[in-house]
């Protein structure tokens, strides 16, 4: 068991830089989620760690060993790749035990380890079934079992649950997290789904165009997004982002956005004072906007564009300064389409980002 470290890892395909100068440490016993939109370089990163792709520059360390040039077989890594292919003519148990068979592990030892891993993943009763006679979710567990049976120093899972329906996905998120904690071995999971990352990871690495945007705990990434990309990518519905300019009002520092002025919190003020940015982007999560039926100073009037009930919550959509603006509310509120309401954007709930390239375009200010 060991920690994993990438130092300044880069890889291009022709003129396409798939991964640029990536440095991340995954402490032993923790789960890192690499998350980002399609094409951001997640799989290329994972393939470099596995030894299936050679980096153009940089190093990969597992514990005290530099594995950058090591053959894939010599890396002691358990892998589960996208579209995990199980051997259709083999039983569940034979599929799970296959990696041990090719390594020449004796039958009795193999059977013992298969039983152990199957128990861990709750698929013991299926061991003698054909993999064609089990459900998609069960197949996913078999693939996981096959990846973990070798007791490697590191696990790599590429989109392990992306092909599952919503209910199974949610179950498997919990299963993977629990499994990783029980194995207590470093694990890197690639996903394009921010909810997978928030719910499973100890550390999240958000990537875009091959570049690391933010590395932090799920709370860091959700509560203090490093830039407008992360702010918009993590969280569902996405964070509302409005254009604004820094402006004082009765001596108080805040931001003007359209016809409205929003006060900055006491905590944010010093950072706004310091910044060279003039134009900013103001962010606020849909879940923290309060909706009132009565007007009051500093409440923003808005008309309901559409209501989207989701059972336990309703997402109301508004238009603010020509931007889509969403608010999450409990179902009791029952607003009608076109109803006029007043939105309260509390100073403590606001995020501020630089808007111009010259001041760090999109970078978090406060
Ligand atoms: P997805 O979620 O769609 O799998 P990803 O984040 O895993 O995407 P990668 O597969 O790592 O992204 O791809 C990163 C970039 O490198 C993309 O622009 C992709 O087209 C390019 N790329 C990846 N593999 C190759 C290859 N073998 N040859 C050429 N270009 C490649």
The string of pLDDT tens digits covering residues 152-165 is 889 999 998 887 77
Q: Mutation test of ligand 1: which of 15, 17, 18 has the most ligand atoms closer than 8 Å to its C-beta?
A: 18
Say what the pTM is: 0.92
Cβ(205) – ligand 1 distance below 6 Å: no
Confidence of residue 122 (pLDDT cuts 50, 70, 90): confident
Cβ(37) – ligand 1 distance below 6 Å: no
Residues 279-307, mean pLDDT to the nearest whole number: 96
Percent of the chain at pLDDT above 90?
A: 79
Residues 82-110, mean pLDDT to the nearest whole number: 91
What b/e string do you get for 248-266 counting C-beta neighbours within 10 Å, with b at 16 or more? Answer: eeeeebbbbbeebbbbbbe
What pLDDT was estimated at residue 164? 75
Q: Whose CA is nearest to atom 27 of ligand 1?
A: 13
CA of 211 to the centre of ligand 1 (A): 13
- The overall average pLDDT reported for the chain is 93
What pLDDT was estimated at residue 148? 86
The string of pLDDT tens digits covering residues 207-226 is 999 999 999 999 999 999 99
Q: Mutation test of ligand 1: which of 10, 12, 42 has the most ligand atoms closer than 8 Å to its C-beta?
A: 42
Cβ(47) – ligand 1 distance below 6 Å: no
Q: Mutation test of ligand 1: which of 34, 36, 44 has the most ligand atoms closer than 8 Å to its C-beta?
A: 44
Asked whether 32 and 201 are in contact (CB, 8 A), the reply is: yes
Cβ(17) – ligand 1 distance below 6 Å: no
Angle between helices 166-183 and 136-148 (to 10 degrees): 20
What pLDDT was estimated at residue 147? 87
Percent of the chain at pLDDT above 70?
A: 99
DSSP label at 227? Answer: B
Give CA–CA dist 304/153, Å, rounded: 53
The string of pLDDT tens digits covering residues 169-183 is 888 898 899 989 988
**Which range among 63-72, 119-128, 134-143, 164-173 shows the weakest confidence by mean pLDDT?**
164-173
Q: What is the layout of strands, in order, in the sheet containing 57-62?
A: 16-26, 4-13, 57-62, 65-66
Confidence of residue 136 (pLDDT cuts 50, 70, 90): confident
């Amino acid at each position: 068991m060991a920690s994993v470290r990438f130092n300044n890892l880069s890889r291009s395909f022709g003129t396409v830089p798939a991964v640029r100068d990536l440095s991340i440490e995954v402490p032993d016993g923790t789960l890192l989620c690499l998350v980002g939109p399609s094409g951001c370089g997640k799989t290329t990163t994972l393939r470099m760690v596995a030894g299936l792709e050679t980096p153009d520059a940089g190093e990969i360390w597992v514990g005290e060993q530099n594995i950058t040039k090591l053959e894939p077989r010599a890396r002691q890594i358990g892998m589960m790749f996208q579209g995990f292919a199980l051997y259709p003519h083999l039983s569940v148990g034979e599929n799970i035990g296959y990696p041990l068979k090719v390594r020449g592990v004796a039958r009795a030892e193999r059977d013992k380890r298969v039983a152990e891993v199957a128990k861990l993943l709750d698929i013991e009763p299926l061991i003698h079934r054909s993999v064609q006679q089990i459900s998609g979710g069960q197949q996913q567990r078999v693939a996981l079992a096959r990846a973990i049976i070798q007791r490697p120093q590191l696990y790599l899972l590429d989109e392990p649950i992306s092909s599952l329906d919503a209910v199974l996905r949610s179950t498997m998120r919990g299963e993977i997290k629990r499994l990783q904690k029980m194995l207590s071995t470093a694990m890197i999971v690639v996903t394009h789904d921010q909810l997978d990352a928030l719910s499973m990871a100890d550390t999240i690495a958000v990537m875009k165009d091959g570049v690391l945007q933010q590395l932090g705990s799920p709370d860091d990434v959700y509560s203090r997004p490093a830039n407008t990309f992360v702010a918009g990518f993590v969280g569902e519905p996405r964070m509302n982002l409005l254009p604004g300019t820094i402006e004082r009002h009765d001596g108080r520092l805040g931001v003007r956005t359209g016809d409205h002025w929003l006060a900055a919190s006491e905590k944010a003020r010093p950072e706004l004072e310091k910044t060279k940015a003039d134009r900013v982007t103001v962010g606020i999560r849909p879940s923290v906007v309060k909706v009132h039926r009565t007007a009051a100073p500093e409440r923003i009037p808005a008309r309901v564009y559409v209501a989207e009930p989701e059972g336990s919550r309703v997402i109301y959509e508004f238009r603010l300064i020509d931007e889509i603006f969403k608010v999450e509310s409990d179902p009791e509120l029952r607003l009608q389409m076109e109803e006029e309401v007043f939105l309260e954007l509390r100073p403590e709930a606001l995020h501020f980002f630089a808007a111009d390239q010259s001041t760090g375009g999109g970078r978090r200010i406060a």
